[in-house]
Structure 1
Amino acid sequence: MSDHPFVNDISLYANNFSYMGRKLSRELADDVDAVVLGVPYDMATTGRPGTRFGPNGVRQASVTLRWEEARWPWRFRLFEQLNVIDYGDVDFEPGNSQHMMDQVVADADAIIASGKKLLSFGGDHFVTLPLLQAVHKTHGKMALIHFDAHTDTYSEGGEFDHGTMFYRAPQLGLIDPAHSVQIGIRTEYGYDDHPFKVIDAAQANDQSVEQIVEQVRQRVGNLPVYVTFDIDCLDPAYAPGTGTPVVGGLTSDKAMKIIRGLQSLNIVAADVVEVAPCYDQAEITSLAGASIGLELLHLFAVKK
């Protein structure tokens, strides 16, 4: 038997079925700290489809992140401090959006109620609504930190629409807009009566990370926090593989720096959505999604 660390524990390119090579399991054992969940759904999209392949794309891209035991600039080895399993994907009837919602709520509720942190990969952004419903069962009303090019607060649209979740979520009592913030917005919204604090893309690109993080902290307060990251928050130069790309977004570097600045907050769950590998180039977008997910897991580890 070789003593090389990758031979016995992490074979980088072999059997790459899970996020970061974590154990594929649905056993929510006491020693599990955090759970990765995929939601391969894109029937609520209004732009280009393809995000149903996002969870698998992110998992495959994560192989290139596995060699670094202590991810820069963090000064600890994540998986020595945080026991993470990959739960696999939510199972639902193809074409049945309501069944998807029911199954997401059931799976996510079981994970959160067992005391675990939850990191989900979509799928289009609509999947955040049933995820919020599940997390609310345990944590009550939450603050939302929302990275996106779009506010997703539009009242028009059908029952299943990836632009309406944050219009409906406050109505359902899931999140408190007065303690929530949207970062990277660069499309039209109701400027005069918008209930969320917006740090638009131009502001986010011009302000320092410290200025942005301080505004987020003040807005969120002491509420439990749900972080949702739509990959189109990033400029298409950094994330071309998505359904509704909008130029003028954040760099992947700045987005990750902002995420690292959130480590003092009580983040109970998070997701990364809208990765569409079919429009990607050289796995740029899938790698960005996998990297952002890894930063979010580090936030879980710091709070543990």
Structure 2
Amino acid sequence: MYEMLSSLSALCLFSVAAAREITFPPVFGVQVPFGSTGEHDIDGELDVSGAWYSGLMTYANLPYVHCLASDGENVEKYDIAIVGAPFDTGVTARPGARFGPSGIRTGARRIAPQFSWNMYTGRNSFLEWAKIVDCGDAPLTFLDNTVALNQLTKTHKVISGREANDTEYEVPRIITLGGDHTTTLPALRSTYDHFGPVSVIHFDSHLDTWDPEVLGGGLSHYAGVNHGTFLHIAHEEGLVLNSSIHAGIRAPVANKKYDLRHDKACGFSIIKARDLDRKGTQGVIERLKERTSGTKVYISVDIDVLDPAYAPATGTAEVGGWTTRELLTILDGLTGMEVIGADVVEVAPIYDNRGETTQLAAAEVVHSLISLMVETPVKGKLLA
């Protein structure tokens, strides 16, 4: 009996030892292993230098560059920069969008440059002429809005002020991850320096051209700068052209006549959310192109342009919005535009569901904005 037990123990030990040695069969037809960004040598060492879901999180696993390095430091060149704007103290409803940049990056974990060939166009914007990087987040205080917005303005000016990687198109362009919608104002101030006034295509459920005396109550200049007044201020500063347009509007206004007249005076026309039912996506695309024809364009996407069923994680949700597919179809249809800057804002991850619905949608919207920028390079003025 003892000899039999000894033999069984020896057999078990041998089986465990043998099980530790795993031999993989040869892999055919696989260029890069799913989940790895490096070469894979079946007969040699595994390359673990670029696995997905590891290391610091960047948008779409893009390389991180310290774009805000001090003067004199060597900074890697880029053509399109992703920058986060963790700011939400300009909201009039639910806060939480300061965590939007990290939420959008979370939604982009499954996107990777070498695995992004578009099913509809056959193109991969990450692998074309533009060098695209993630610059991380702007360092913004959460205790003083005026200081924070000045910090964000300087961040934009530093990032856009560096010489681009492509020598023919020497001004880098920025896509901002928000953050509440107030963060678009510093972005427009920066693009004005390089490209002059622009047409704004504003995807939103709200107008955001309210007079600071109305939305802010006239309490103070400080209170009047918020996520519902930034387009009024941009118009006041001469940053936007009278060929600007809203898309997806459906929220109520404060004053039956004044708000709409004032919006028109700020240079905007309106595509309402339900206009999509009559015009279709192609009709909306044609209207946006017609309105902004011959101008340089800044695209701002408030994630609440989507119905709360598709984007619950936002500060001021309005029912009756567009689907994610409809928004992406419209964005992808804006080919040929000279898009000089863009943002995706009002993503507040605390209100998202376990499936990260809003964050996934926002990440894909950013992807579409990148594609528009890559398809049409734009020349700007590099400041001395």
- Same topology, TM > 0.5: yes
| Aligned residue in 2 for 1:188 | 252
In the alignment, residue 202 of structure 2 is paired with which amino acid? H
Matched, 1:52 2:102: no
- SS of the residue corresponding to residue 340 of structure 2 reads strand
The answer on whether the counterparts of 1:16 and 1:63 sit within 8 Å (CA) in structure 2 is no
CA distance in structure 1 between the partners assigned to 2:357 and 2:121 by the alignment: 22
Deviations 1:61-96, CA, capped at 9 Å, x for gaps: 101233832133231222211311100000122312
Deviations 1:127-150, CA, capped at 9 Å, x for gaps: 001111111111111100000000
- SS of the residue corresponding to residue 194 of structure 1 reads helix
Of the three residues 201, 206, 228, the one matched with 2:300 is 228
| Aligned residue in 2 for 1:122 | 178
Cα distance, 1:39 vs structure 2? 0.2
The answer on whether the counterparts of 2:308 and 2:318 sit within 8 Å (CA) in structure 1 is yes
CA distance in structure 2 between the partners assigned to 1:50 and 1:92 by the alignment: 15
Written as runs of structure 1 = structure 2, the 5 A alignment for 1:84-123 is 84-114=132-162, 115-123=171-179
CA distance 1:287–1:129, change in 2 (3 Å) = same
Moved more, 282-291 or 111-120: 111-120
Identity value in percent:
31
- SS of the residue corresponding to residue 207 of structure 1 reads helix
CA distance 1:99–1:250, change in 2 (3 Å) = same
| Aligned residue in 2 for 1:4 | 32
- SS of the residue corresponding to residue 205 of structure 2 reads coil
Cα distance, 1:192 vs structure 2? 4.3
CA distance in structure 2 between the partners assigned to 1:112 and 1:206 by the alignment: 40
Matched, 1:71 2:127: no
CA distance in structure 2 between the partners assigned to 1:254 and 1:285 by the alignment: 15
| Aligned residue in 1 for 2:60 | 20
CA distance in structure 1 between the partners assigned to 2:161 and 2:198 by the alignment: 16
Moved more, 152-161 or 234-243: 152-161
- SS of the residue corresponding to residue 88 of structure 1 reads strand
- SS of the residue corresponding to residue 92 of structure 1 reads coil
In the alignment, residue 244 of structure 2 is paired with which amino acid? S
Moved more, 90-99 or 291-300: 90-99
CA distance in structure 2 between the partners assigned to 1:94 and 1:48 by the alignment: 16
Deviations 1:189-233, CA, capped at 9 Å, x for gaps: 423453111000010243222211111111112121100000000
| Aligned residue in 2 for 1:147 | 203
Which structure is larger by alpha-carbon Rg, 1 or 2?
Answer: 2
CA distance in structure 2 between the partners assigned to 1:235 and 1:205 by the alignment: 14
- SS of the residue corresponding to residue 83 of structure 2 reads strand
Query: Which ranges in structure 1 are unaligned for 5 or more consecutive residues?
Result: none
CA distance in structure 2 between the partners assigned to 1:39 and 1:120 by the alignment: 7
TM-score under structure 2 length normalisation: 0.75
State the structure with bigger RCO (CA 8 A, min sep 6), 1 or 2.
1
Matched, 1:263 2:358: no
The answer on whether the counterparts of 1:58 and 1:286 sit within 8 Å (CA) in structure 2 is yes
CA distance in structure 1 between the partners assigned to 2:84 and 2:315 by the alignment: 18
- SS of the residue corresponding to residue 269 of structure 1 reads strand
When the two chains are superposed, the root-mean-square deviation of aligned CA atoms in Å is 1.7
CA distance in structure 2 between the partners assigned to 1:43 and 1:205 by the alignment: 35
CA distance in structure 2 between the partners assigned to 1:133 and 1:248 by the alignment: 32
| Aligned residue in 2 for 1:41 | 87
| Aligned residue in 2 for 1:215 | 287
Cα distance, 1:123 vs structure 2? 0.4
The answer on whether the counterparts of 1:35 and 1:116 sit within 8 Å (CA) in structure 2 is yes
Query: Which ranges in structure 2 are unaligned for 5 or more consecutive residues?
Result: 1-26, 39-49, 68-74, 163-170, 217-222, 254-258, 378-384
| Aligned residue in 2 for 1:175 | 240
Deviations 1:148-198, CA, capped at 9 Å, x for gaps: 00001111212331110111110110001x201100000134234531110
Deviations 1:264-297, CA, capped at 9 Å, x for gaps: 1110000000000000012100111100000000
CA distance in structure 1 between the partners assigned to 2:363 and 2:307 by the alignment: 16
